[in-house]
Amino acid sequence: MRKAIVLGASGGMGYALVQELAARKMHVKAFARSQGKLQQLFGTMADVEMYTGDVFRQDELIEACKDVDLIFHAVNIPYPEWPKGHPAIMENVLKAAEKNGAKVVFVDNIYAYGRSPGKKVTEDTPKNPHTKKGKIRLHLNNMLKEAHQRGVPTLICHFPDFYGPNAENTLMHFTLNSILSGRKAQYVGRMDVKREFIYTPDGAKAMVELSLRESAYGDSWNIPAHDVISGHEIIEIARRTTGYSKRVSTVGKGMIAFLGLFHQGMKEMVEMMYLNEEPVVLSGEKYEREIGPLPRTPYEEGIQRTIEHMKQKK
CB of 271 closer than 8 Å to CB of 132: yes
CATH class of the structural domain 171-193+229-276: alpha beta
The domain limits of the chain are: 3-164+197-227+280-297, 171-193+229-276
Instruction: Render pLDDT for 3-51 as a digit per residue (tens, 0 to 9).
Output: 999 999 999 999 999 999 999 999 999 999 999 999 999 989 988 999 9
Chain-centroid distance of CA 227 in Å reads 17
- Please report which confidence band the pLDDT of residue 261 belongs to, taking 50, 70 and 90 as the band edges: very low
Phi and psi for 124 in degrees, rounded to 5?
-90, -5
Instruction: Answer whether residue 65 shows pLDDT above 60.
Output: yes
Instruction: Render pLDDT for 171-221 as a digit per residue (tens, 0 to 9).
Output: 999 999 999 999 899 998 899 999 999 999 999 999 999 999 999 999 999
- Rounded to whole angstroms, the Cα distance separating 157 from 252 reads 29
Matching CATH number, 3-164+197-227+280-297, of 3.40.50.300, 2.70.170.10, 3.40.50.720, 3.30.70.360: 3.40.50.720
Q: Please name the residues in contact with 256: beta carbons below 8 A apart, sequence gap of 6 or more.
A: 188, 266, 269, 270, 273
Instruction: Render pLDDT for 66-91 as a digit per residue (tens, 0 to 9).
Output: 999 999 999 999 999 999 999 999 99
Q: Please name the residues in contact with 15: beta carbons below 8 A apart, sequence gap of 6 or more.
A: 9, 41, 165, 166, 167, 200
